[in-house]
Structures are given as C-alpha cells and as structure tokens.
Structure 1
Amino acid sequence: MLALAVAGAPVALAAMGFTGTGIAAASIAAKMMSAAAIANGGGVAAGSLVATLQSAGVLGLSTSTNAILGAAGAAVGALL
C-alpha cells in the first residue's frame, strides 16, 4: 500500500493533466486552472491548489509529501 500511494500520486497528477511540460489542453487540470483564474480575476494565485498541483506535476513530489503519502498508505493498508 505504501508504494502504491507514493508511486500513484505522480500518475494521478499526469492523468489529470498536470504534466512536466505544463497543464495539458482540454484536461481536468485546464478546467481547474480556468475556474481558478476566473475566480481570482484573471490569474492563478501563487500557493493555490492549482499552482501547487502544477508544481508537483513539473517538479515531482517533495520528500515530506512522499512521507505523508507513505504514512497514509500504510495506515490504510493496516486497516485492510
């Protein structure tokens, strides 16, 4: 479960359209970005959910995020 949680996050981000080269056209990420920009008066705010997910899509997940995902995956695995 631990490996699945850590390895699955980048796959899920890419599937949503948060890619290493930017947000993919006509994707869930593009729709999220559009909604965020409209709500924010034309731009996506730094630190917003869309900005954070795009950063993770480009740079990958930080060590602390991987640790959190791993702990969550281990907890879920222990319950099953």
Structure 2
Amino acid sequence: MDPGTLAVVGAVGAVVAAPVILGAAGFTSAGIAAGSLAAKMMSASAIANGGGVVAGSVVSVLQAAGAAGLSGTATAAVASVGAAVGWLTGFTG
C-alpha cells in the first residue's frame, strides 16, 4: 500500500477504535470508572495541580471524548494521529 492509503486506513481505524479504547481505559459516558487507568490518571493530575483537574488537560479531553462518544475536536485529533501513524508505518525503509 502507498503511504496515502495507509494514512487514510490509519485515520479511519483510529476513529473507529477510539471509543472502545477510551472505554477500556475507563473514560466512559457515565464518568471515569473507579479503579481504572483513567482514575489513576485523574488522581495523578489532581495531585499535580493542587486538587483539581485542569480544563484542557489530557485527562479532561479524554473524559470529554469518552462522555461524548468521541466527537468534534477529539475526533479530529485522533484522526490526525491515526493518519500520522499510518503514514509513518508505510515506510519500510
């Protein structure tokens, strides 16, 4: 496959897989799941920031994406990352 095709496949794959991966990590539509990776990330973020999770932080963006079913800016970000990974893996060098 050429790098352009791999970029498209990577972007589509990332957008399709992202809600599943977010849910598995604990970023759900009902909030952050207790005892999950997301809970550990939220705890670390809150400790680092004096007790609160900063708006726009990785944890808040991932939770917003998990709660919304991955829409808007989060979809564009995930698609961009997926496209970059697909493009990069297209080179066998």
Shorter-normalised TM-score: what interval? 0.7 to 0.9
Structure 1 window deviating more from structure 2 (15-24 vs 55-64): it is: 55-64
Q: 1:50-69 residue pairs with structure 2 within 5 A? A: 50-59=59-68, 60-62=70-72, 63-69=75-81
TM-score between the two structures when normalised by the length of structure 2: 0.71
Structure 2 unaligned residues grouped into runs of 5+: 1-8
Structure 1 window deviating more from structure 2 (27-36 vs 64-73): it is: 64-73
Distance 1:14 1:23 in 2: 9
Larger RCO, structure (CA 8 Å, separation 6 or more): 2
**Residue identity (%):** 54
TM-score between the two structures when normalised by the length of structure 1: 0.81
1:7/1:73 Cα in 2 relative to 1: closer, same or farther (>3 Å)? Answer: farther
Give the one of 56, 75, 78 matched to 2:87. Answer: 75
Structure 1 window deviating more from structure 2 (50-59 vs 2-11): it is: 2-11
CA RMSD after TM alignment? 1.9
* Number of residue equivalences: 80
